[in-house]
Amino acid sequence: MAQVLDTDKLIDSIKRRASIPSNQSTYTEDDFLAFINEEMSLSIVPSILRLYEGHFLFQETTDLVDEKSDYRIPTRAIGNKLNELQYVDNNNNRFEMTRITTGDIPDYQGAYTQNHAYAYYVEYNKIKLLPPIQGSASGSLLFYYYIRPNEMVEESRVAKVVAGGINRTTGEITVDKIPDHFSTDITYDMYMAGSPHAHMVIEKTATSVNSVTKTLTFALDDIPDDLEDGDHIAMKCECIIPQIPSDLHVLLAQYVAERILEAQGDTQGLQNAKAKTREMENKAGTIIDNRVDEAPLKIVNRHGTLRSGLSSKRYKRRN
């Protein structure tokens, strides 16, 4: 079973790998956390994304607004990019949207249905719908994107759901502690304590924070169905467990140890660490690649002749 490394355990592992004494004063906890967050962003996340196995894939729905044709790409998307964008009608049916370039915009002028769009282009940090929404709008946009893992913080900043602490009638969630910065003025993320420590919901507001009873109260619709005892509640963008499969926690510790050995000028130690890292990378790739062994991903041409013959287009230009 893979060892889950929270903030304290991860720092201890880094110190062992870099042979750093526990009573040293060169690196503070903030220094270690900065190294961890940098290596997550620069080394771990890009390596996982290259596998195209759905790690970090998250969805967010935005209702269409009357007279509004531009919508911001979710700010927590890695690289500020999308995996997919779909239109969802009022009956919850989903439809593909076509991405075009700015050079194609003139082709989308004319008499179209005006309360929804079926194409879009990207401009800076926004997607712009075509045809433009002119009048009332219906339905919503479904954004699929790779969500950026939260930054590692001190354990005192995160609360854990206690056994039997979820009341789905009142919306109260009892936790082990109420961190000093928790209030109704911030938003919260809820994520899994178990691997891969993924987000369940993000940026939800608590209607009440009680430090005496150690309870947080949320709207019932904001409490995820799969929230369990032991899961974590943190201020948005914070966590105390790396939000990657637990099998990769030791690899993250190894990357940070390399950074520290390099900073210390320990050439021999760095060389040995790099050799160990390459070995760990090869094994890690075997563990997390191809998430369903007996069902490899099939590459389908979604606009092929066969696919087109089986389904009709939802949106057509009027004559």
Domain span at residue 141? 57-146
pLDDT value of residue 117: 78
Q: How many CB atoms lie within 10 A of CB 315?
A: 16
Residue 208 sits in the same domain as residue 177: yes
Whether residue 299 is contained in a domain is answered as no
Radius of gyration from C-alpha coordinates of the chain: 23
Residue 44 sits in the same domain as residue 64: no
pLDDT value of residue 303: 62
For the cut 90, the answer to whether the pLDDT of residue 300 exceeds it is: no
- Cβ(239)–Cβ(151) below 8 Å: yes
Whether residue 280 is contained in a domain is answered as yes
pLDDT value of residue 284: 86
Write down which residue in 146, 165, 180 finishes a domain.
146
For the cut 80, the answer to whether the pLDDT of residue 313 exceeds it is: no
Tokens standing for residue 301: 């041409």
Q: pTM for this structure?
A: 0.88
Q: How far apart are CA 286 and CA 17, in angstroms?
A: 23
Across the chain, what does the average pLDDT equal? 90
Write down which residue in 146, 178, 211 finishes a domain.
146
Residue 234 sits in the same domain as residue 252: no
> How many CA atoms, within 13 angstroms, populate the side-chain half-sphere of residue 1?
5
Whether residue 300 is contained in a domain is answered as no
Region 88-108 average pLDDT: 91
Count of the separate structural domains present in the chain: 3
The sign of the torsion formed by the CA atoms of 91, 95, 101, 106 equals negative
Region 146-156 average pLDDT: 98
pLDDT value of residue 115: 61
Whether residue 316 is contained in a domain is answered as no
Whether residue 19 is contained in a domain is answered as yes
Residue 284 sits in the same domain as residue 265: yes
For the cut 80, the answer to whether the pLDDT of residue 1 exceeds it is: no
Write down which residue in 180, 213, 241 finishes a domain.
241
Residue 79 sits in the same domain as residue 159: no
Whether residue 306 is contained in a domain is answered as no
For the cut 90, the answer to whether the pLDDT of residue 6 exceeds it is: yes
Residue 237 sits in the same domain as residue 255: no
Q: How many CB atoms lie within 10 A of CB 52?
A: 10
For the cut 60, the answer to whether the pLDDT of residue 111 exceeds it is: no
pLDDT value of residue 302: 63
Torsion of CA 285, 291, 292, 296, to 10 degrees: -70
Residue 61 sits in the same domain as residue 130: yes
Residue 6 sits in the same domain as residue 48: yes
For the cut 80, the answer to whether the pLDDT of residue 256 exceeds it is: yes
Whether residue 91 is contained in a domain is answered as yes
Residue 194 sits in the same domain as residue 254: no
Region 196-212 average pLDDT: 98
Whether residue 124 is contained in a domain is answered as yes
Q: What is the DSSP letter of 92?
A: -
